[in-house]
Amino acid sequence: LRPRFASAHKDVLAVLTAVDAALPQMLGWSEAELLAMRSVDMLDPADHATAIDSWLSMLAEPGSTRRTRLRYRRKDGSWVWFEVTNHNRLDDPDHRDVLAEIIDVTGEMTAHQALRDREQLLRRVTDSLPAGIVQFDGREKVIYRNERLHTILGPGPKTDLGKTFAALDSADRRQLRAAVRVALRAGTDTDLEVRLAAPDGP
């Protein structure tokens, strides 16, 4: 198994000046190959702007620390996500370098991407349904609604339970609110029939 933690030293231009034994194992490059590179040389081009902004921000403040998550290319062409914490020690007479503490977070980032992909799929599915769908959090705030809901309930702010179902008959609205609170508290399903004014009038 590859190590998950490594450290490296860089100069002001982000050229690697020293690496520990773990980093070559994590990236597949030899120590000699790594010491001929700048860290940006291994980065995914899509991450260059983020890396440069973080680096310049760190250089502007002696003694400061910046943390970023970036994609690095291994020697075999595969990619790995690193969380890199750069410590600006350039003004420290005992070091005169930038210390980079590195953690392999590929598993975490892959899991996050898979979750985002599932969420996007769910949104595409719910937006294609002929039914209005709305999701509330524990404070009765809307955290998701599909496009069909706007067709059914009409335009206007729908940021919470009350505003979403403002067009309901008052008695039905109380019944619906009670059912939603039970569902949020106990996870109990309830089927209700309510009266709703059409979006363009009674």
Residue 202 pLDDT level (bands cut at 50, 70, 90): very low
Element (H, E) at 154: none
Find, among 112, 101, 39, the residue nearest to 66 by Cα. 101
How does pLDDT run across 99-124, given as a tens digit for each residue? 999 999 998 888 888 888 888 887 78
Q: How far apart are CA 12 and CA 18, in angstroms?
A: 13
pLDDT digits (tens, 9 = 90+) for 45-93: 999 999 999 999 999 999 999 999 999 999 999 999 999 999 999 999 9
CB of 11 closer than 8 Å to CB of 97: yes
**Ramachandran bin of 192, using left for φ above 0, alpha for ψ from -120 to 50, beta for the remaining angles:** beta
Strand 65-73 with 16-19, pairing: unpaired
Contacts of 57 (CB under 8 A, 6+ apart): 64, 66
In the DSSP assignment, the letter for residue 21 is S
Q: In whole angstroms, give the CA distance from residue 60 to residue 62.
A: 6
40 pLDDT higher than 70: yes
Query: What global pTM score does this model have?
Result: 0.64
Q: What is residue 134's predicted lDDT score, i.e. its pLDDT?
A: 84
Confidence of residue 192 (pLDDT cuts 50, 70, 90): confident
Per-residue pLDDT, averaged over 8-12, amounts to 96
Residue 144: what pLDDT? 82
- 129-157 pLDDT, tens digit each: 888 888 888 888 888 888 888 777 776 67
Q: Among 51-55, 77-81, 168-172, 180-184, which is the least confidently predicted range? A: 168-172
